[in-house]
């Protein structure tokens, strides 16, 4: 598996499945797992510390509320970590976004948009990172882009 998709709770899956779907579309292998920074802190350490040796190249971490998961994961691994702020009920994901994006200097987390767009783009960005060393993935991304552009150009009328 090239990408690890982790999330703080099973309740994050409806959001995080968009990252998985994007990777499916681009032919990139991945694993999925619930790993909570708060509820399973030892599992988080074990997962992040072992990820590189297991062959994972990029980690996508989604969490909501006081969303420590991406930052703590990044603290335990030198792999690139992409954080997805899950849309929380109480604060619509503003809490998740600020928790993930405001990393102090020295430990980097690449933060995506709140919700499903962020999750899909995390899958896309993970594939783009892999594509720098994988010509097949690069071709899949270029095809994805071309199809996306053609779909819009071939359907210019918003009323159709």
Shortest Cβ 26–ligand RP5 spacing (Å): 25
Both tokens of 87, joined, read 């849309």
Shortest Cβ 60–ligand RP5 spacing (Å): 13
Rule CB under 6 A: which residues touch ligand RP5? 7-9, 11-12, 36, 38, 63-65, 86
Measured distance CA(141)–CA(19) in Å, rounded: 14
Shortest Cβ 24–ligand RP5 spacing (Å): 22
Both tokens of 128, joined, read 């783009």
Residues making up the binding site for substrate: 9, 12, 39
Shortest Cβ 9–ligand RP5 spacing (Å): 3
Helix (H, G, I), strand (E, B) or coil at 30: strand
Give the angle subtended at the CA of 128 by the CAs of 123 and 132, to the nearest 5°: 150
Q: 71 or 127, CB closer to ligand RP5?
A: 71
Question: What are the backbone angles phi and psi of residue 114, rounded to the nearest 5°?
Answer: -65, 135
Q: 17 or 36, CB closer to ligand RP5?
A: 36
Q: 9 or 73, CB closer to ligand RP5?
A: 9
Both tokens of 4, joined, read 């690890």
Q: 11 or 143, CB closer to ligand RP5?
A: 11
Radius of gyration of the chain (CA): 16
Residue 137's region, left for phi above 0, alpha for psi from -120 to 50, else beta, is: alpha
The interaxial angle of helices 135-153 and 13-26, nearest 10 deg, is: 100
């Amino acid at each position: 598996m090239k990408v690890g998709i982790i999330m703080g709770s099973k309740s994050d899956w409806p959001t995080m499945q968009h990252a998985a779907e994007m990777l499916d579309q681009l032919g990139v292998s991945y694993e999925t797992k619930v790993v909570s920074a708060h509820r399973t802190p030892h599992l988080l350490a074990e997962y992040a510390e072992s990820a590189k040796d297991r062959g994972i190249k990029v980690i996508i971490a989604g969490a909501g509320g006081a969303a420590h998961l991406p930052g703590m994961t990044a603290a335990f691994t030198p792999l690139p970590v992409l954080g997805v702020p899950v849309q929380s009920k109480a604060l619509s994901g503003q809490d998740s976004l600020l928790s993930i994006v405001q990393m102090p200097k020295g430990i980097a987390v690449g933060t995506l948009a709140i919700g499903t767009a962020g999750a899909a783009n995390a899958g896309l960005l993970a594939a783009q990172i892999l594509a720098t060393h994988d010509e097949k993935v690069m071709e899949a991304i270029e095809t994805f882009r071309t199809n996306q552009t053609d779909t819009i150009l071939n359907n210019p009328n918003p009323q159709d």
